[in-house]
A and B are shown apart, each in its own frame.
Chain A
Amino acid sequence: MSSHPQIELRQVNRWFGDTHAVNDVSFEVYAGEVFGYIGPNGAGKTTSMRILATLDEATSGDALVDGFSVVEDPDRVRRRLGFMPDYFGTYDNVDVHEYLDFFARAYGLRGTERSRALAFVEDFTGLDKLSTKPINGLSKGMKQRLCLGRTMIHDPSVMVLDEPAAGLDPRARIELREMIGRLADLGKAVLISSHILTELAEVCDRVGIIEQGQLVAVGSVDDISRKAEATAMVEVRFVGDVPRAHQWLHDRRDLHEVRIDERKATLTHAGDEAAQAQLLREMIQAGLKVVEFRCRTKSLEDIFLEVTEGRVQ
C-alpha cells in the first residue's frame, strides 16, 4: 500500500453562522487502520465527516482522501470512499437486493462484477436471507447492516462510518465490531464515530476525542490506556475514627481528587501497583482501620469524561 495517508484532514474549519462546528481539526488515517472519532452530541463529528465525504464544504482548510482534495477532485474521492451517514436513506417499493443493486449500478459496476460484489456484500453483512424483503420493513439493526453493505459495495479503500453502532443490540454491536475489524484486515482505512469510547476501544487502532469542534486528544488506545494505568482510582472504607482518617488523607501530597462521604473515600493515586501496596501499608501503620481497599485502573470512560468538559454548543 502507498505510504501516504488514506484520510487526511488539514486544519479543517466549518462555521454555521456563529457556530464554530469544526475548529481547526487535523488528523491522518492510514490504510488498514481504524480511527475512532469520539465526542459528545454536537461536537462536530458528523460535520467533519460530511466534509470528508464531499457533502459539505469546509469554510477553510482541506481534506484529502488517498491524496485527492475533496474540494477539487470530489469525483476521484467518491470513487475511493464509502460513506455511511447516521441516517438511513430509504426508497419506497424497493427490496434489499434491489437497493444494493441500485447502488452497485450507481458506482458503475457492470455484469458479473456487480453480481459478485452483491453476493460478497450480502454475505458479509448477513443480509443474504433478507434479500427480497422490502427495505421499509427492516428493523433498525438490519437497516444499519444494509447501510454498511451499501457503503462497501464498490470496495472503497476508505470508509467513513457515522455512528454505525447506534441503535444496535449488544449482540449486533459485537458483530459490527467484528465486521469493522475485518474491513481493516482487508486494508481499508476506517474512520468511525461514536459517543462512547469503550464501544470503540477494541476495534480502534487510534482514537481522536473531539469536543466543541476541537480535537482535544489523539492517540492510540494503548497510549491512552497506559496513561490511564499510570493513575489508579482508589476506594477506601474505614471504621473507627473516621475524621482522623480524613485528615490523614487530606494531608498526603501524593493523593488527588479526594472525595469523602461518610466512611468511604475515593481518590486518585499516581503510581503502579507496588506504590498502591505501599500506600495501604502506610495507612495501616498510621493506625487507620481500613476494612476495604480497592484499586481500579481508570476506564476509557473516565478519561473521556476527564478530557471533555461536557459543554454543549
Chain B
Amino acid sequence: MSDAVAIDNPTVADEGQSSAWRQRLAVLDKWLEAAGDRLNPILVKETRQAIKSKQFAITFVLLLMLCWIVTIGGLTLLGPGVYYSAAGGELLKAYMFLLLFPLAVVVPFSAFRSLSSEREENTYDLLRVSTLSPHQIVRGKLGSAAVQMGVYLSAVAPCIAFTYLLRGVDVVTIAVMLLYATLGSLGLAMTSLFMAALAQGKHGQVLLSVGVVTMLLGSFAGSAGLAIAYLDEGRYEVSREELRIFSAGALTFYLTTFALLYLAAVALISYRSENRSTSLRWAMIVQQAAFIGWMAWAWLRFNYEPEGLIVALIIGAIYWYAMGTMLTSESPELSNRVRRRLPQSSMGRLVRGLLNPGPGTGYLFAVACFTGLCLMACAALVYVQYVPLSQRRNYQYPEIIGGMILLWCYLVTYLGVGKLIIAGINRLVPVNAIAGFLLHVIFLMAGAGIPLVIQLSLRSMRNAGYTALQLSNPFWTLGELLEGGGFSDKEIILQSIVLGAVAVCILMVNMPGTAREFMQGRVALPQRVAQDEAELHPVEIKPQNPWEEEAEAAADPDGTEA
C-alpha cells in the first residue's frame, strides 16, 4: 500500500494533466457552442456534412495534388532559370486555372444542387415547416458555399504565395485577382441558388440544371481566359484611373445585382401570402439609382457624349422591360397578410402603392421608373445647352428625343399589352413568373416578327427597306432612327405621335385594373395575432418627453431599474 503511495504514479499524473486538458477543451467546446448558436443552422449542418463527404475530400485532395504537380513540373521546366527569370506570372496562370475550376464550377454547382436536392429528397418540406425563414435558408446555402470556397482557396494559397517568391507578379495583382475570383464565385453561387429556387417542377429542374452547368462552364472558360489575359497584360496599376473607375463601376453593378438575386431567391421560396415584391422593387430602385449615378458621372467626365445618353436609355428600357415582365405576372389580389401592413390613409396607400405587389402596380412601377430615367436624360439635354460647343460634340436633338419617346412608347405598349394577355390567361390557369416572362417575350417577338414576315412575303415590298409597316418592330425602328439616320424630322414627329397615342391608350386601358389594386384597403390585425404579438414583443412604455423621464428618475432614485 505504502509502496503505491511512494511511487510517483505516472498514470495519476497523466490523468491530472489530461483532465486539465479536458477542462480546457470543455471551455473551448462551450465557447464554440456559443459561437455556433449564432451561426446559421444550415451552415452548421452542411459544414458537418462536408467534413464527412467523400466528394468534398476527393476534390480537395485532387486540387492539392494538381497544385503540387504543377509546382514540380514548373520547377523542373525552369531548371536553374528559377534563380534569375521572373517566372511567377506563368506559374500563377496555371494555379489560377486550377483554382478557378472549383471556384467557378464546383462551388456554385454544389450550391445549386444543395437547394434543389432538398426538393428531391423531400427535406425541403421539413425546412418549410420549421421556423427557418427563407432568408436564413438562402443565407445558409450561400454561407456553406463560402466555406467551401475558403477551403479551396486555402489549398491553393501556399502555391500562390510561392509564385510571389518567384518574382514576376506583385502582391496587388495577386490580391486583386483573388478578390475578383472570390467575388465572382460568390456571385455565381448566388445565381445558381436563384436558379434552384426558380426550378419548382421536375422538368424545370432538369432544364435549369443543364442551364446552370452551361453557365458555370462558360464562366469558368471566360474567367480563366480573363485571368490569363490579365496576367499577360502585366499588373494591376492602382494609379490607372480607368481601371479604378471600371472596378468601382463593376463592383456597384455586382453588389446591386447580387442583392436583387438574393431577394428574388428569397421571394421565390417565401410562402404565397407573404409580400414577395416590395423588397425587390426597392432593390430595383437602388440599382437604377446606382446606374444613373455612374452614367451621369461618366457623361460629365467624358465630354458629354450624346451616345452616352442613348446607351443609358436603351439599357434602362431593356432593364425595365425585363423586370416588368416578371412584375406583371404577380397576383392582383393582395393577401390579408400584406393588407395588414398597408398605410391607413388613402394618401399613404397612393404613395406606397407602387411598391405593393400586383401586376398593375408592377406595370406602373416599371413605367414610372423608366419615366424617371427619361426625365434625367431630359435634364441632361437642358444642361448640355449651357456647355460651350468647344467642349462637346454637337447634339442631334430630334434623334435623341425621338429615340427617347419611342423607347418609352414601346415599353409602355409591350408591357401593357403583355400584362393584359397574362391577366386573360390567369383566369384560366395561374401564370407564374417564368410563364409571364415567356408570354411577354413571345408577344414582343410576334410584334417585331409578324410585320417582317409580311413584308418579306410581299414581292412589291421585299426590297423596300424600312417601311411604316415595321413601326411595331422596336428593334428595326430604333436601329433605323439611331444608326441609319433614316428618318426626316417630320417622320420622327409623326412616329412619336402615332406610337405615343397607342402607348397612352394602352396605359389607359390598364388603368382600371391598376386602380382596383390601389384601392385595396387595410385589414385589421386579427385579435389572436395581436394577442400573440403582444406576448412575443411586450411593448415597453417609454417616456414620451423629458418631464416624464425626470418623474421616472425621481420615482426610482437609485436607477436600479435601469
User: A102 contacts which chain B residues (CB < 8 A)?
Assistant: 41, 44-45
Q: Is B131 a contact partner of A93 (Cβ separation < 8 A)?
A: no
Q: Is A150 a contact partner of B126 (Cβ separation < 8 A)?
A: yes
Q: Is B123 a contact partner of A91 (Cβ separation < 8 A)?
A: yes
Please give the number of chain B residues whose Cβ is less than 8 angstroms from any Cβ of chain A in the complex.
34
A87 to B529, CA, bound (A): 32
Instruction: Decide if B335 is an interface residue (CB 8 Å cutoff).
Output: yes
Instruction: Decide if B3 is an interface residue (CB 8 Å cutoff).
Output: no
User: B41 contacts which chain A residues (CB < 8 A)?
Assistant: 102, 105-106
User: A90 contacts which chain B residues (CB < 8 A)?
Assistant: 121, 123
User: A57 contacts which chain B residues (CB < 8 A)?
Assistant: 272
Instruction: Decide if B558 is an interface residue (CB 8 Å cutoff).
Output: no
List residues 67-81 of chain A with CB under 8 A from any CB of chain B.
67-69, 71-76, 78-79, 81
A92 to B50, CA, bound (A): 10
Q: Is B129 a contact partner of A55 (Cβ separation < 8 A)?
A: yes
A57 to B126, CA, bound (A): 16
From the candidates B44, B52, B526, B528, name the one contacting A93 in the complex (CB within 8 A).
B52
Interface of B is mostly: helix
Closest to A50 in B: B125
A81 to B44, CA, bound (A): 24
Q: Which one, A107-115, A184-192, A250-258, A305-313, is touching chain B?
A: A107-115
CB distance from B528 to the nearest CB of A (A): 4
CB distance from B111 to the nearest CB of A (A): 16
User: B17 contacts which chain A residues (CB < 8 A)?
Assistant: none
Instruction: Decide if A89 is an interface residue (CB 8 Å cutoff).
Output: yes
CB distance from A49 to the nearest CB of B (A): 11
Instruction: Decide if A98 is an interface residue (CB 8 Å cutoff).
Output: yes
User: A114 contacts which chain B residues (CB < 8 A)?
Assistant: 37
From the candidates B122, B131, B273, B335, name the one contacting A106 in the complex (CB within 8 A).
B131
Instruction: Decide if B336 is an interface residue (CB 8 Å cutoff).
Output: yes
Instruction: Decide if B311 is an interface residue (CB 8 Å cutoff).
Output: no
Instruction: Decide if A94 is an interface residue (CB 8 Å cutoff).
Output: yes
Instruction: Decide if B214 is an interface residue (CB 8 Å cutoff).
Output: no
Q: Is A73 a contact partner of B337 (Cβ separation < 8 A)?
A: yes
CB distance from B150 to the nearest CB of A (A): 19
Instruction: Decide if A53 is an interface residue (CB 8 Å cutoff).
Output: yes
Q: Is A68 a contact partner of B532 (Cβ separation < 8 A)?
A: yes
Instruction: Decide if A83 is an interface residue (CB 8 Å cutoff).
Output: yes
User: A91 contacts which chain B residues (CB < 8 A)?
Assistant: 45, 49, 121, 123
**Can you list, as one digit per residue, whether each of B34-49 has a CB less than 8 Å from chain A (1) or not (0)?**
1001000110110011
Interface residues of A (CB under 8 A from B): 53-55, 57, 67-69, 71-76, 78-79, 81, 83, 85, 87-94, 98, 102-103, 105-108, 110-111, 114, 150, 154
Taking A57-B272, A106-B132, A111-B37 as known contacts, 4 extra A-B pairs with beta carbons closer than 8 A to each other, sorted by chain A number, are: A68-B529, A71-B336, A89-B121, A92-B49
Interface residues of B (CB under 8 A from A): 33-34, 37, 41-42, 44-45, 48-49, 52-53, 121-133, 271-273, 335-337, 526, 528-529, 532
List 18 A-B residue pairs with CB atoms under 8 Å apart, sorted by A's residue number: A54-B271, A55-B125, A55-B129, A57-B272, A71-B335, A73-B526, A74-B273, A75-B131, A76-B529, A85-B122, A87-B122, A88-B122, A89-B125, A92-B49, A93-B53, A94-B49, A106-B127, A111-B37
